[in-house]
Amino acid sequence: MLDVVRQKSEGEPNAYVFTKPDGKPIDKHLDRIWTRALKKAGLRHRPAYQLRHTFATQRIVDGFSLTYVAKVLGHSTIESLVRHYAGWVDSATQENDEKLRNSIG
């Protein structure tokens, strides 16, 4: 399913992933749609807002620039990003250090 979304939105970095039938974004207060989608997928419920945190941690772990992740999340500086995701930043730093060591030797 997400592969279809990826293909549809390639080249459109601002494309919405979850939309109403008319293609407009789902209002953030329509949690019942989110709840139904999770149930249909067999996943436990979690607030849709947590997708933001999942996105941030995955980008940090993937080695994206902290400045870039902060910008995408709408932070004016990286300080708040580091404050909220310090553990993930440390973890990603260790993983990237290991990748660097392996690429040299």
| pLDDT exceeds cutoff 90 at 40 | yes
Q: Are residues 40 and 1 in the same domain?
A: yes
Contacts with 57 (C-beta within 8 Å, 6 or more apart), sequence order = 85, 88
Both 39 and 82 in one domain: the answer is: no
**CA proximity to 34, closest of 25, 46, 42:** 46
Take residue 56 and report the two structure tokens written for it.
């941030």
Query: Is it the case that residue 1 has pLDDT exceeding 80?
Result: no
Same domain (yes/no): 53, 102: yes
**pLDDT tens column, 48-60:** 778 888 888 888 8
- Count of domains forming the chain: 2
Asked if residue 86 and residue 65 are part of one domain, the reply reads: yes
Q: Are 31 and 63 part of one and the same domain?
A: no
